[in-house]
């Protein structure tokens, strides 16, 4: 890299590395010459995409006109489905929920502010903080769960935001609703509360983020179409908050940030309750299958409320990850997720889960002390 260009880069940007996504199917194929690859690394929906959403994308006839930047129809649809008195003006759309997260930092933080978050949690929070010259105050999980008391103690005069990831990536654990209610009660009003609920649809019960957003002004909930709706590749997320907060965020939004294919797909997917139900049911069954498989192998996992599990392995996570990859199963090594000696595994179809469990059995056998 050129030294001159290096010197021109903003200092906060110099301090971050690019986001590292999970291994792709193509990368695994190329590296090991594999034919069949099972990808359980990015918490995507193993059932694919809602057929209605796929049909809506195929039916698009033109793309040469900019979308209506107001996005009224989809925002109303989201508001309607959210209930809780949510109206169109409480909904903001993003190019994935990641964009909305970045917008929160751009809109509300100043260099020198602090943002309180869990450790480990979704790595993008820390990365966004660094990029914006904000100090990430990272509070260790307790038994894999957000330690809300410790997070509250970490809130100080410089705290601008607190981010709660529920269910938490990479552990899959959820926050206990009563503990959360107490936490919110004690949180100073001036602190922005961000609830990232990318996996909320998989939870049968838990914190009702939207209710909090509608009742506490400095609160925002992030949701996504990337997970249960099976639309990770179209990039669509949304935020729900009170109107004042949405209005500030509208100032930092790029025009036309949601594409026409995303709008069409999401509109159809939001109405596909059958697909949603099937996805939840497949996840429940898959989680039971993995839990039973781990028990047989003598392994433990954190209780998961999401579509992935964090299983403890009796070896280096990266060695286990590599051993699985060689057999055509892609998972995430906990080493890169600040979760050593664990793997993060997306719950797949019954066949994918069985393939993974068989591969894991072989890895454990090959690594066992002889």
Using CB under 6 A as the criterion, which residues of the chain lie in contact with ligand PLP when the complex forms? 43, 96-98, 122, 165, 169, 196, 198, 224, 226, 232, 237
Q: How far is the CB of 31 from ligand PLP (least distance, A)?
A: 23
Q: Kindly state the smallest distance separating residue 325's Cβ from ligand PLP, in Å.
A: 19
Residues 6 or more apart in contact with residue 365 via CB below 8 angstroms: none
| Cα(236)–Cα(108) distance, integer angstroms | 22
Minimum CB–partner distance for residue 228 and ligand PLP (Å): 11
Q: Which is nearer to ligand PLP, 90 or 224 (CB)?
A: 224
8 Å CB contact between 218 and 92:
no
CB of 224 to ligand PLP, least distance (A): 3
Which residue's CB atom is positioned nearest to ligand PLP? 96
Cβ contact 159:191 at 8 Å? yes
Closer to ligand PLP by Cβ: residue 148 or 194: 194
Nearest to 137 by CA among 125, 145, 149: 125
Token pair for 182 = 């107490």
Minimum distance, C-beta of residue 6 to ligand PLP, in the bound complex (Å): 29
| Nearest Cα residue to 327 out of 365, 356, 290, 289 | 356
Label residue 253 exposed, middle or buried (CB < 10 Å: 0-12, 13-18, 19+): buried
For ligand PLP, the closer of residues 97 and 353 by Cβ is 97
Q: How near is the Cβ of 360 to ligand PLP at its closest, in Å?
A: 22
- 99 vs 272, beta carbon nearer ligand PLP: 99
Q: Residue ranges of the alpha helices (H) in the chain?
A: 3-8, 11-14, 25-32, 51-58, 72-82, 97-108, 123-131, 148-154, 177-186, 209-215, 243-250, 260-270, 273-297, 317-326, 350-367
Cβ-based nearer residue to ligand PLP, 132 or 363:
132
CB of 246 or CB of 357, closer to ligand PLP: 246
């Amino acid at each position: 890299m050129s030294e001159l260009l290096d010197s021109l880069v903003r200092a906060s940007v110099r301090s971050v590395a690019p986001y590292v996504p999970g291994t792709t199917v193509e990368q695994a194929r190329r590296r090991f010459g594999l034919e069949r690859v099972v990808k359980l690394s990015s918490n995507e929906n193993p059932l694919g995409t809602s057929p209605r959403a796929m049909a809506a994308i195929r039916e698009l006839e033109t793309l040469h006109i900019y979308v209506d930047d107001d996005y009224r129809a989809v925002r109303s649809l989201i508001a309607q489905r959210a209930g809780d008195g949510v109206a169109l003006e409480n909904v903001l759309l993003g190019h994935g929920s990641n964009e909305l997260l970045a917008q929160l930092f751009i809109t509300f933080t100043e260099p020198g502010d602090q943002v309180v978050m869990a450790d480990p949690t979704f790595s993008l929070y820390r990365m966004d903080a660094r990029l914006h010259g904000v100090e990430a105050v990272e509070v260790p999980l307790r038994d894999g769960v957000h330690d809300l008391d410790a997070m509250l103690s970490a809130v100080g005069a410089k705290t601008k935001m607190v981010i709660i990831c529920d269910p938490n990536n990479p552990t899959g654990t959820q926050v206990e609703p009563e503990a959360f209610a107490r936490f919110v009660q004690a949180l100073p009003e001036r602190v922005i509360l961000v609830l990232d609920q990318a996996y909320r649809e998989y939870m049968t019960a838990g914190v009702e983020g939207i209710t909090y957003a509608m009742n506490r002004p400095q609160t925002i909930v992030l949701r996504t179409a990337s997970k249960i709706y099976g639309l990770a590749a179209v990039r669509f997320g949304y935020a729900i908050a009170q109107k004042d907060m949405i209005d500030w965020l509208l100032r930092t939004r790029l025009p036309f940030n949601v594409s026409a294919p995303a709008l069409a797909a999401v509109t159809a997917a939001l109405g596909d309750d059958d697909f949603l139900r099937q996805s939840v049911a497949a996840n429940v069954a898959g989680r039971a299958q993995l839990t039973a498989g781990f028990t047989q192998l003598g392994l433990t996992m954190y209780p998961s409320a999401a579509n992935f599990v964090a299983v403890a392995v009796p070896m280096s996570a990266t060695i286990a990850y590599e051993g699985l990859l060689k057999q055509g199963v892609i998972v995430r090594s906990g080493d890169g997720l600040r979760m050593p000696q664990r793997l993060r595994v997306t719950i797949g179809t019954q066949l994918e889960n069985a393939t993974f469990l068989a591969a894991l059995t072989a890895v454990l056998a090959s690594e066992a002390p002889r």
